[in-house]
Amino acid sequence: MLVTGVVALLVLLSLLSVALGALSIPLDQVVRSVLGRPPSHLVDNVIWSVRVPRTLTGLATGAALGLSGALMQALTRNPLADPGILGVSAGASFAIVLAVAVFGVASLYGYVWFAFGGALVASVLVFLLGRLGRSGATPVKLALAGVGVTSLLSSLTSAVVLTDQDALDRYRFWSAGTLADVDGGDLLRVAPFLAVGAVLALTCAPMLNSLALGDDVAASLGRRPGLIRLQGVTAVMLLTGASVAVIGPVVFLGLVVPHMARVLAGYAGIGPDHRWLLPLSAALAPVLLLSADILGRMVERPTEIQAGVLVAFLGGPFFIVLVRRRKLAEV
């Protein structure tokens, strides 16, 4: 029932994403165009050249960010983990801007590799800073380290884009996280990276259930915690780096969605089984991203508000509530 409900909601939002915007298209015309009987050339062009690539990009990148958020929370046993909060998205963004400004990389397939490297370096830096002190890498310390690294990288990114017009033009396009003006070809170029990252993440699920019991227990069950984390970090790097390269940094999506998935899984009687939580997070994240994108298009037509702004509007208060629930003594 839960899976059926989420899939039905995704189908409905996908249809609304194709239908709504500066030019609203009735749902019956959308269905006719999908079935190969478009009512007009204009409608058919808007649907297949603009709306369908935008919707598919939202589905793919939303699933990637939701999956990476759930994976990060499981790997670190930190309910505050998220690619945006722990600096992974900021690292990918800075690396992309650096690639454009310093190395003259102009194509997505060229700078996506920089995004992977930036995501990896930022995540390692946050972990090293978060584990300083006698208490080790507590959830709140990791979150604070992530906020600090994100602020530093954001400042460096601003410094670079202000001195390079090409980098500034590219940065303005996706700095707030947007599905506007996405190219279907860009999604095809990063699709292999998203697919490999998703496979690595989903195959981690049974091992994450053992890791949740502690490294010692996992090792006694025949698991290798180091290899599990290596596989997980690789998946997060691929999923986050590829997503940021296409739509920009969308913060809080990976934070909010795994908690929603746990609540729904609890109501469904599934429990904290990552074999269900990871796919459920991958399905719920596009629901939130497409909802934000649709709302952003409708609020100020014919202009629009970027989806990343609306996701942050929801995720910011949620993050504050989670932090307040942690004991300040952990710091």
Write out pLDDT tens, residues 14-73.
Answer: 999 999 988 888 888 888 888 878 778 888 888 998 899 999 999 999 999 999 999 988
Q: 2-330 falls under which CATH superfamily?
A: ABC transporter involved in vitamin B12 uptake, BtuC (1.10.3470.10)
Highest mean pLDDT among 134-143, 224-233, 254-263: 254-263
Residue 197 pLDDT level (bands cut at 50, 70, 90): very high
Residue 195 pLDDT level (bands cut at 50, 70, 90): very high
CA distance linking residue 2 with residue 122, whole number of Å: 36
Write out pLDDT tens, residues 125-177.
Answer: 888 887 787 766 666 677 788 888 988 998 998 888 888 776 676 666 667 77
Q: pTM for the whole thing?
A: 0.86
Write out pLDDT tens, residues 100-110.
Answer: 888 888 777 78
Amino acid 11 reads V
Q: Is the pLDDT of residue 204 over 50?
A: yes
pLDDT of residue 322: 66
More confident residue, 273 or 278: 278
For 170-185, give one letter per residue: b (16+ CB within 10 A) or e. Answer: bbeebbbbbbbebeee
Contacts made by residues 225-230, CB under 8 angstroms, sequence distance 24+: 228/75, 228/204, 229/75
What is the average pLDDT value for the chain, to the nearest integer?
83
The domain spans of the chain are: 2-330
Structure tokens at 35: 């079935």
